[in-house]
Structure 1
Amino acid sequence: MRIGELSRRTGVPARLLRHDEEQGLLTPDRAENGYRDYGESAVRDVQQIRGLLDSGLSTEMIRAILPFLSGPGEILLPSVCLTDETAALLQAHIDRIQARIDCLARNRDRLSACLAAVRPASGVDGESVSA
């Protein structure tokens, strides 16, 4: 399929698909006329790449792990393929994710405390309780 069809099927603009190719994340075949030719698996690949980007992974990290991802929830990464550099990238990202989770949990707790302080006490049925 050509880039326009891949764009329509994935909802990803052709400009971003070209960018993914420049970053080494997509590798389409080229027809004799130079047009990009994507296989059917490119739809899944693009969806996976976009999901990884949305989760905050860098293109560098995606490029390092993409060959070992066979689908959602499936990782085919033999331990001999995990270089020290890739392991460090993954650990750094895990640490950043955990820091964001911790920050979000703190903010949630603070907002809940503020809401509890300004919201009138409620009974079981949602009616205000008077003392």
Structure 2
Amino acid sequence: MTLPSETQRPIVSDSTLAVTVYILYCLGYFFVIPALIGVIIAHIKLDDTDAVLTSHFHFQIRTFWIGLLYLVTGTVLSIILIGIPILIWWFFWSLIRIIKGIIRVNEYKPIARPTSWLFG
């Protein structure tokens, strides 16, 4: 039983959730479902946290949707071999964004440009 004046602490901190989303994106290279879970978490937490972590969740959402665009475009264009460089770009682009995000959230620093199409 909690007293009305006490606030309940969350089970998992927001920074832990941000790192978890990045890890789910890594698992998304092998399975689809973890990346979908990650983007859902990022959407839910976007307006529910401080400015530093909001930049990370915004960055994660854009990483997912822009990455999906690269992935679909590269897959469709692979029929005529133009898509292979796009898929290689997607892999390295997303990997750099994930690693940069994990490092920045561990240092508790915001993503400088979370709306960037490159590396933030």
TM over 0.5: no
More helix by share: 2
Larger proportion of strand: 1
Q: Say which structure, 1 or 2, has more relative contact order (CA 8 Å, 6+ apart).
A: 2
The TM-score with structure 2 as length reference comes to 0.28
